[in-house]
Amino acid sequence: MSLAGKVAIVTGSGRGLGLSYAQELARQGAAVVINDVDAEVAAEAVTSITAAGGKAVAVVAPVGSAETAKALVASAVENFGRLDILVTNAGVLRDKSILKMTDEDFDLVINVHLRGTFTCVREAYGYFKENNIAGRIITIGSPTGQRGNFGQTNYAAAKAGIVGMVRTWAMEMKRAGVTVNAVIPVAATAMTKTVPFFAKAIEADERGEAMPDFFRKELGFGTADDVAGLIAFLASDEAGNITGQAIGAGGDRLQLWSHPEAIASEFNDGGWDYATLLERFPFSGNLQSVGEKFPELPAELQPEPAAK
């Protein structure tokens, strides 16, 4: 198995995407530290791994603080003797349009996603460097962080910030041989269950059937297990030359996201005043779109009308 002898931490791994990541890492031979805020859910996740012959323990704590980050790394070392892999998956949602979003809504999402990623990565990297371990750090981004999404100011800021940190950390950690990447998953989760556009895909998955090709191929939308293979690959020795990347995974599709680059550059002697901007800069034709653009659903995949 490709990760035999390795030890991983997966935050937010009691259920959903995080649980699939942890289970796949365990299937590939890694011992796993499960993390969740619900003790019962965390215990069930541990059992799902140990019952299949894997090794797992749980740390029940919300991510965000330096204390939780230290407890996660300490648990890996105390229970399994080392740490090799960190997957920062934990997250919460508080979706509201900006005039309805409270300070508490904003701060909570930023604390769990952005600060939680920062504190856990800082603690894990400190351990890797101190012990001369060429570790693997895998953060979790989102299409919202790449493109924006209505009602998700806090989530977009956190996910875009995570990718920005990854690019910086890739430079800082290169000499230590540590890789750090962002995975952009597109999968059926508790959140997407509430989106009518994905209804037929979710219904098929819940019946134990394959999702229609339109979702898996056209949209790159699938199950949590469709993303887990990429997580395990990036955690392996074979991915030692991949760092600083944002990689999308969903359904049958894998994507490598570009880094932001300037698409139009002009120069004007003495700088740009109002009149020169109006006359010379080619805004028209170069303005970038916002949000994700989905193709129209085929008739047979349209959601059922709501009962009156």
- HEC secondary structure over 216-256: HHHCCCECHHHHHHHHHHHCCHHHCCCCCCEEEEECCEEEE
Question: What is the CATH architecture assignment of 7-187+223-257?
Answer: 3-Layer(aba) Sandwich (3.40)
What gap in Å lies between CA 49 and CA 248, rounded to an integer? 26
pTM here is 0.94
Identify the residue whose tokens are 């919300």.
Answer: 62
Segment (H or E) for 124: helix 116-130
pLDDT in tens, the chain (308 residues): 689 999 999 999 999 999 999 999 999 999 999 999 999 999 999 999 999 999 999 999 999 999 999 999 999 999 999 999 999 999 999 999 999 999 999 999 999 999 999 999 999 999 999 999 999 999 999 999 999 999 999 999 999 999 999 999 999 999 999 999 999 999 988 767 777 888 899 889 889 999 999 999 988 999 999 999 999 999 999 999 999 999 999 999 999 999 999 999 999 999 999 999 999 999 999 999 999 888 888 888 888 776 65
125 part of the active site: no
Instruction: Say how many C-beta atoms besides its own lie within 10 A of residue 294's C-beta.
Output: 11
CB half-sphere exposure, 200, CA atoms < 13 A: 16
Which residues lie below 8 Å from residue 207, measured CB to CB, with a gap of 6+? none
Continuous segment of H or E residues that includes residue 161: helix 153-173
What percent of the chain lies above the pLDDT cut of 70?
98
Condensed to tens digits (0 to 9), the pLDDT of residues 40-98 reads 999 999 999 999 999 999 999 999 999 999 999 999 999 999 999 999 999 999 999 99
Q: pLDDT (tens digit, 9 = 90+) per residue, 65-76?
A: 999 999 999 999
Q: 21, 125, 127, 155: which one is catalytic?
A: 155
